[in-house]
């Protein structure tokens, strides 16, 4: 089963511009929605960003990225 036809975060339909994901200053073009590495929701470029955390291509929706940042700021012991 492939990605859905709309973002599972904002519920907007897939369009070409919603498949141009940001990675720093660059853009990662994809033909389908990317899946968040943490919550596994398929998300559009408005709701997901490519981060360089572990592998250089870590896909995190904004909600999971905020939670990771809050855990980092709190100093969860890692």
pLDDT value of residue 77? 52
Residue-wise pLDDT tens digits, 25-59: 889 899 999 999 999 999 999 999 887 777 767 89
Specify the residue for token string 């073009």.
Answer: 29
**What residues does each domain of the chain span?**
16-74
What gap in Å lies between CA 38 and CA 64, rounded to an integer? Answer: 7
The Cα 17–Cα 53 span in angstroms is 25
Work out the average pLDDT over 9-33: 92
pLDDT at 46: 94
The pTM score is 0.80
């Amino acid at each position: 089963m492939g990605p859905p036809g709309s973002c599972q975060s904002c519920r907007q339909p897939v369009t070409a511009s919603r498949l141009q994901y940001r990675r720093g200053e660059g853009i990662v073009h994809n033909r389908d929605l990317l899946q968040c590495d943490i919550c596994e929701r398929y998300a559009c470029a408005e709701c997901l960003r490519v981060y360089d955390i572990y592998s250089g291509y870590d896909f995190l929706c904004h909600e999971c990225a905020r939670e990771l940042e809050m855990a980092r700021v709190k100093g969860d012991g890692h």
